[in-house]
């Protein structure tokens, strides 16, 4: 791949195809020339406000300026800190303070919420700048890029949910992100006539797929939020050939087009492939998608710490799963080019094919570690292997199968929820004695958040418990199911046996 920095992708595309459409969001389309111009204007503005190495937080829904920030903030050594717009303002404030962000760019409505509800130390509230007020038409930078600029510089600092009760800031360098893009280019090839559409929030690492398509001078269409009817309309308007969806989104899309034959036929006529992640594809859904849309499917397994996807279940694998090998539908696929996958035991030694252990990954796309957290960084690595925290196995043909998670992270609708984080909030409610938060299977969201509580005296009501969570956490972290029990199952050493809780409650919905 030419270049050593994210900006080099855009710069090369703007030279080669200046008038080709680069990006469409919510009815606005920018050519590569226009995207580079706005990216350069943002870089110039930042050069006058903060030094290289400064962290710049971004708080916005999907919009074209978000992609300009992807490239423009780290263009000359600054670090982009994307904030998940679905979080609570107190969570935004915590991540802003922990990252040391010296400037916050955001949409006016979200900034108003941050100012009203975010909790900052008195001397640590950075300036807020409305994205609408930035000089997007300013002249390009006249300063030279730093001679010492390196692909090992952190480009994005992206927070992800951990299991210690607080999210961790993942350091993603130019090198790791470019490597992740290259790996996906091998596992999800981009064709010369592709037009890509994604409804995923650009604050997630999945946004790297936009840059993947820019690498090949292709048009990326981004929805402000997922809606099946809006997706179909955008696909028809822009001639979309490639989609990226979560399985729950695919279900909604199928239901929509099954009820609207004209929409189904229009989508089917142009669609080549649907890429998905965050959960395996159930065989019945796979067959339904094949029947209704008639396109290829491609699954990717990845995480923020891997700068994107690392393994892929190819279209050929999906066709085999439909025809004769249904077990393949449960696989996360095989590694992309330049990625190594292994399974290790508790002692850190490599295990043979078929054995269950912790999945580890090695390659240039792996994070350099966590921001200002050397202990978490040390814990996340076994030598030069990154420990994913997933339990799985690799079969003799190199296919990865994920079985469980080592730690109790709940994945609901593609979002990670730390069980301990929710437990800490619930313990503040009067009447809660002991509590365990677990994820239970959900046909729509993958998992649903469930709180199991041993009362201390009079049990609190559900509204009080939900209200406490909504006051401090994002809505998707609030338990949808609450169970009161006399005691929590524990091991001989006093640890709560969450596996027993999951098994019992899954059998008693």
Alpha-helical regions (H) of 118-227: 174-187, 208-215
- What burial letters (b/e) apply to 380-414, b meaning 16+ CB within 10 Å? beeeebbbbbbbbbbeeeebbbbeebeebbbbbbb
Structure tokens at 363: 């390659």
Pair 169, 371: CB distance under 8 Å:
yes
Residue 165: per-residue pLDDT: 45
pLDDT band at 142 (very low <50, low <70, confident <90, very high): low
247-258 and 228-238 helices cross at what angle (nearest 10)? 80
pLDDT band at 247 (very low <50, low <70, confident <90, very high): confident
Question: Averaged over 43-59, what is the pLDDT?
Answer: 95
pLDDT surpasses 90 at 162: no
Closest to 272 measured CA to CA, from 248, 242, 299:
242
Region of residue 301 (phi > 0: left; psi between -120 and 50: alpha; otherwise: beta): beta
Total count of residues recorded for the chain: 509
Which of the pair, 2 or 482, is modelled with greater confidence? 482
Structure tokens at 216: 């090949």
CA angle at 86 for the pair 82 and 87, rounded to the nearest 5°:
80
Give 127's contacts (C-beta < 8 A, 6+ positions apart). Answer: 102, 103, 104
- DSSP strands (E only) in 234-367: 242-245, 273-276, 296-303, 308-313, 334-335, 340-344, 357-362
pLDDT surpasses 80 at 258: yes
Residue 219: per-residue pLDDT: 98
Question: Averaged over 192-218, what is the pLDDT?
Answer: 96
pLDDT band at 346 (very low <50, low <70, confident <90, very high): confident
Q: Enter the pTM of the model.
A: 0.84
Tens digit of each residue's pLDDT (9 = 90 or more) over 263-322:
999 999 999 999 998 666 777 888 899 999 999 999 999 999 999 999 999 999 999 998
Domains, the chain, ranges and CATH? 6-319 (3.40.50.12780), 340-405 (2.30.38.10), 409-507 (3.30.300.30)
Structure tokens at 44: 């110039």
Measured distance between the N- and C-terminal CA atoms of the chain, rounded to whole angstroms: 51
Q: Which helix (H) or strand (E) holds 403?
A: strand 400-405
Which of the pair, 281 or 363, is modelled with greater confidence? 363
Question: Averaged over 50-54, what is the pLDDT?
Answer: 94
Tens digit of each residue's pLDDT (9 = 90 or more) over 146-156:
444 578 999 99
Longest dimension (CA), the chain: 70
Worst-scoring range by mean pLDDT, 29-43, 338-352, 432-446?
432-446
The residue whose two tokens read 């990954």 is: 361
């Amino acid at each position: 791949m030419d270049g050593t920095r994210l900006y080099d992708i855009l710069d090369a595309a703007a030279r080669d195809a200046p008038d080709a459409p680069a990006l469409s969001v919510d009815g606005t389309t920018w050519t590569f020339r226009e995207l580079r111009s706005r990216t350069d204007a943002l870089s110039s503005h930042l050069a006058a406000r903060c030094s290289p190495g400064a962290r710049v937080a971004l708080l916005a829904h999907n919009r074209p300026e978000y992609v300009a920030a992807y490239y423009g903030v780290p263009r000359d050594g600054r670090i982009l800190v994307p904030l998940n717009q679905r979080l609570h303002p107190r969570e935004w404030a915590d991540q802003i303070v922990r990252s040391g962000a010296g400037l916050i760019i955001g949409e006016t409505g979200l900034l108003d919420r941050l100012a009203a509800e975010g909790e900052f130390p008195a001397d640590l509230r950075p300036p807020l700048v409305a994205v609408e007020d930035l000089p997007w038409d300013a002249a390009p930078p006249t300063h030279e890029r730093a001679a010492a600029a390196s692909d090992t510089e952190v480009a994005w600092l992206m927070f992800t949910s951990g299991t210690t009760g607080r999210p961790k800031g993942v350091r993603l360098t130019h090198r790791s992100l470019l490597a992740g893009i290259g790996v996906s280019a091998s596992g999800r090839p981009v064709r010369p006539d592709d037009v890509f559409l994604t409804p995923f929030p650009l604050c997630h690492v999945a946004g790297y797929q936009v840059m993947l398509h820019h690498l090949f001078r292709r048009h990326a269409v981004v929805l402000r939020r997922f809606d099946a009817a809006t997706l179909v309309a955008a696909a028809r308007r822009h001639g979309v050939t490639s989609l990226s969806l979560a399985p729950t989104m695919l279900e909604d899309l199928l239901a929509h087009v099954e009820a609207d034959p004209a929409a189904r036929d229009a989508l089917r006529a142009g669609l080549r492939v649907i890429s998905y992640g965050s959960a395996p594809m159930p065989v019945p859904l796979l067959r339904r998608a094949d029947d209704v849309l008639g396109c290829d499917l491609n699954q990717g397994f990845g995480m923020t710490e891997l700068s994107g996807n690392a393994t892929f279940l190819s279209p050929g694998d999906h066709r085999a799963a439909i025809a004769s090998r249904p077990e393949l539908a449960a696989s996360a696929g095989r590694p992309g080019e330049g990625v190594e996958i292994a399974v290790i035991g508790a002692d850190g030694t490599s295990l043979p094919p078929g054995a269950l252990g912790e999945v580890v990954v090695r390659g240039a796309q792996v994070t350099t570690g966590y921001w200002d957290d050397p202990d978490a960084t040390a814990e996340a690595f076994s030598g030069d292997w990154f420990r994913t925290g997933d339990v799985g196995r690799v079969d003799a043909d190199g296919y990865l199968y994920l079985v469980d998670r080592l730690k109790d992270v709940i994945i609901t609708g593609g979002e990670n929820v730390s069980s301990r984080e929710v437990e800490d909030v619930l313990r503040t409610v009067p009447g809660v004695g002991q509590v365990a938060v677990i994820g239970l299977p959900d046909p729509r969201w993958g998992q649903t958040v469930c709180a199991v509580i041993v009362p201390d005296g009079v049990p609190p009501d559900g509204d009080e418990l939900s209200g406490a969570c909504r006051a401090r956490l994002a809505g998707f972290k609030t338990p949808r199911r609450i169970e009161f029990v006399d005691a929590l199952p524990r091991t001989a050493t006093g640890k709560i046996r969450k596996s027993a809780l999951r098994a019992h409650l899954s059998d008693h919905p």
